[in-house]
A and B are shown apart, each in its own frame.
Chain A
Amino acid sequence: MWENFSEAIYLNFIKDDRWKYYTDGLKVTLTITLFAVLLGVAIGLVVGIIRATHERTHKLKIMNFLCGIYLTVIRGTPVVVQLMIIYYIILASARNKIPVAILAFGINSGAYVAEIFRSGIMSIDNGQMEAGRSLGFNYIQTMWYVVLPQAFKNVLPALCNEFIALLKETSVSGYIALQDLTKAGDIVRSRTFNPFFPLFTVAAIYLICVIVLTQCIKLLERRLRQSEH
């Protein structure tokens, strides 16, 4: 029993430095997730503000229409398909796959983040906007200094869910032959011909990442709440 186990450890992690597949894969997964989150928040912020502004003031008709198309298309098609379309068609000449994946996952995440921000902005009483503007802020200043800080706090749990979902969604990066964490497990499995250890190792690493991320966001939430008291 013990001998089997230690042999499995040797085969799965130590022989030919196979543990490096996991660490390298994790690095790729985290890199893609981090930058895709940043891109997604940037896109989501702009799109969310445009949508909320349209809802409140009925202005920005054309921009709102374009944002609507973006949301419908992105949320209506699988992220794997979007990833492959970007890699094989739109950026077919790209050499480095990581930026391609960041772009694909960022654009995808942006659509979901936009709806989160939109609902967050709409949850803030219109009196705040009126107060800010009547004091002499313009629309964008009021949005940035008054409405968004409050909206952000309200949507933080929803954003956290989105980031966790994104981290796990990057596991389809193997479709464009990117060696992320999932793909790393795959490679080891093809060497050892035993799926048990590679798959559970990969699952455990994802789980740890998600737990750490959840804790970080809990801390942030607590600090934001403190600033009110």
Chain B
Amino acid sequence: MEETVIRFEHVWKSYGEQPVLKDFSLEIGKGEFLAVIGRSGCGKTTALKLVNGLIVPDTGRVEVKGQDISCADPVMLRRQIGYAIQNVGLFPHMTVEKNIAYVPSVSRMDGWKGEDRRKKTEELLRQVGLSPALAGRFPRELSGGQRQRVGIARALAASPDILLMDEPFGAVDAITREQLQDEILKIHRERGLTVLFVTHDIEEALKLGTRVLVMEEGTVQQCDIPSRLLSAPATDFVEKLVCRRREPEVRM
């Protein structure tokens, strides 16, 4: 594996009495597309939010690019990490352009002043397959798929090299979802991003992931390349998860 970008070391996290992550350890290499799959409440979203410090582990540590994030400045950390969430998250009181450019320009980041701001926004919109003409619209004037694309554009605005995505395509129709999946694969390739992608759809996980992490009740069930997940499931849970997917492949 290439150099490790994200490392979880024996992370425990619980909400009240309820443990969500139990001794969770994982390494994610540079340029990987890790699809995380599991049932609701299995700890996959918690794992994601640990990476950009929205959630702090009870014990154990999380490292990003070799630095323990509990010692890092959270603002500087998060600017290297894009974050796209399902459905919500766009600011309803701001136009598309403002949604994308607001944080970088308020934070006085380089290359987001005046005319640059418009150019960069247009560039990002094109990259996620949207017309720059949408820049002046408000989120509620967009379709679900367009909103997701704006969300991704916004997550990419600060030129992060890590992208966290939490069921970003959960609320769009099947055709749009497929387009978005292809789009994100393209972006992953072109930018050389490290992507952490949470989903509850095994098809999606197998299609997108260079590796797939299967989680259940806060533990790692299996983390491997998609073909190995299908051919050699490590636990009954993984077996059950992939069996429906495998049958048509056998027929082929």
The answer to whether B92 and A150 touch across the interface, beta carbons within 8 angstroms, is yes
Q: Which residues of A contact B93 (CB under 8 A)?
A: 149-150, 153, 227-228
CA A153 to CA B89, docked complex, whole Å: 18
Kindly state whether residue A65 has any CB partner on chain B within 8 Å: no
Of B83, B87, B88, the residue contacting A135 (CB under 8 A) is B83
The answer to whether B75 and A138 touch across the interface, beta carbons within 8 angstroms, is yes
Interface residues of A (CB under 8 A from B): 125, 127-128, 130-138, 141, 145-146, 149-150, 153, 227-229
The answer to whether B85 and A136 touch across the interface, beta carbons within 8 angstroms, is no
The answer to whether B78 and A136 touch across the interface, beta carbons within 8 angstroms, is yes
The answer to whether B140 and A134 touch across the interface, beta carbons within 8 angstroms, is no
CB-CB contacts below 8 Å: B79-112 with A: 79, 81, 83, 85, 87-93, 102-104, 106-107
The answer to whether B88 and A136 touch across the interface, beta carbons within 8 angstroms, is no
The answer to whether B78 and A146 touch across the interface, beta carbons within 8 angstroms, is no
CB-CB contacts below 8 Å: B148-175 with A: 154-155, 157-158, 164
Knowing A137-B107, A145-B106, A228-B93 touch, does A131 contact B78 (C-beta < 8 A)? no
Kindly state whether residue B52 has any CB partner on chain A within 8 Å: yes
Closest chain-A Cβ to B161's Cβ sits at a distance in Å of 14
Instruction: Say what secondary structure dominates the interface of chain B.
Output: mixed
The answer to whether B106 and A125 touch across the interface, beta carbons within 8 angstroms, is no
Of A130, A146, A150, A228, the residue contacting B138 (CB under 8 A) is A228
Q: Which residues of A contact B104 (CB under 8 A)?
A: 136
The answer to whether A135 and B140 touch across the interface, beta carbons within 8 angstroms, is no
Closest chain-A Cβ to B238's Cβ sits at a distance in Å of 30
**Max chain B CB contacts within 10 Å: which of A132, A134, A141?**
A134
CA A135 to CA B75, docked complex, whole Å: 8
CA A221 to CA B102, docked complex, whole Å: 24
The answer to whether B92 and A130 touch across the interface, beta carbons within 8 angstroms, is no
Q: Which residues of B contact A134 (CB under 8 A)?
A: 52, 54, 78, 81, 83, 164
CA A136 to CA B91, docked complex, whole Å: 14
- 24 A-B residue pairs with Cβ-Cβ distance under 8 Å, sorted by A, are A127-B85, A127-B87, A127-B88, A128-B88, A128-B91, A130-B85, A131-B88, A133-B54, A134-B52, A134-B81, A135-B83, A135-B154, A135-B155, A135-B157, A135-B158, A136-B75, A136-B107, A137-B75, A228-B92, A228-B93, A228-B138, A228-B140, A229-B138, A229-B141
For B37-62 the 0/1 string (1 means CB < 8 A from A) is 00000000000010010100000000
Q: Which residues of B contact A150 (CB under 8 A)?
A: 91-93
Closest chain-A Cβ to B184's Cβ sits at a distance in Å of 17
The answer to whether B78 and A125 touch across the interface, beta carbons within 8 angstroms, is no
Q: Which residues of B contact A137 (CB under 8 A)?
A: 75, 103, 106-107
Q: Which 8 A-B pairs have the closest CB atoms?
A: A127-B88, A134-B83, A131-B89, A135-B103, A136-B79, A136-B78, A127-B89, A149-B93
Knowing A145-B106, A229-B138 touch, does A128 contact B158 (C-beta < 8 A)? no
